[in-house]
């Protein structure tokens, strides 16, 4: 297994011959204003440049989007990810949103999923109580 943290929640995971891109935030450094209500809201986002080329980042078998806040699924991801890339979401609402953005191979994760012989388990999670994007 090889896990590469790209930035924020964006990860690239190579496991058993399959590569996943998780929570793609692909905008250029400082493309957006800071997030209101955060401790350092004056800092523009994303705070760092992508450490890999878009071509290298998008050389994956599937994308997993945990939720569609802009720091996990941004406009640049919508624009650059191939329209026929398999994308897995946590719920029907996120799947519908991503389909409406022109991506065609969107599936909602079940409790247990198998992709290329790899079992993916869906687990719950929660942002902190002061998440400005919630």
- Global confidence as pTM: 0.90
Q: Encode burial over 22-54: b for 16+ CB neighbours within 10 A, e otherwise.
A: bbbbbbeeeeeeebeeeeeeeeebbeeebeeee
Pairing relation of β-strands 106-108 and 87-89? parallel
The residue with greater pLDDT, 64 or 34, is 64
Sheet holding 87-89, edge to edge: 2-7, 10-15, 18-22, 62-65, 87-89, 106-108
Task: Delineate the domains of the chain, giving CATH numbers in brackets.
Answer: 2-121 (3.60.15.10)
Residue-wise pLDDT tens digits, 77-89: 999 999 999 999 9
> To which residue do tokens 């058993």 refer?
16
Find the farthest-apart pair of alpha carbons in the chain and give their distance in angstroms, rounded: 45
Mean pLDDT, range 46-54, rounded to an integer: 95
Dist. CA 26–CA 12, nearest whole Å: 12
pLDDT of 42 over the 70 cut: yes
Distance CA 73, CA 123 (A): 19
């Amino acid at each position: 297994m090889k896990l590469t943290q790209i930035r924020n929640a964006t990860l690239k995971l190579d496991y058993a011959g399959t590569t996943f891109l998780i929570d793609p935030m692909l905008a250029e450094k400082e493309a957006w204003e800071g997030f209101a209500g955060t401790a350092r809201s004056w800092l523009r986002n994303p705070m760092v440049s992508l450490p890999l080329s878009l071509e290298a980042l998008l050389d994956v078998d599937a994308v997993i989007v945990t939720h569609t806040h802009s720091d996990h699924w941004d406009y640049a991801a919508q624009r650059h990810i191939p329209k026929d890339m398999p994308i897995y979401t946590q719920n029907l609402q996120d799947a519908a949103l991503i389909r409406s953005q022109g991506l065609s191979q969107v599936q909602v994760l079940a409790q247990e999923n198998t992709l290329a012989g790899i079992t993916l388990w869906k687990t719950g999670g929660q942002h902190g109580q002061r998440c400005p994007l919630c």
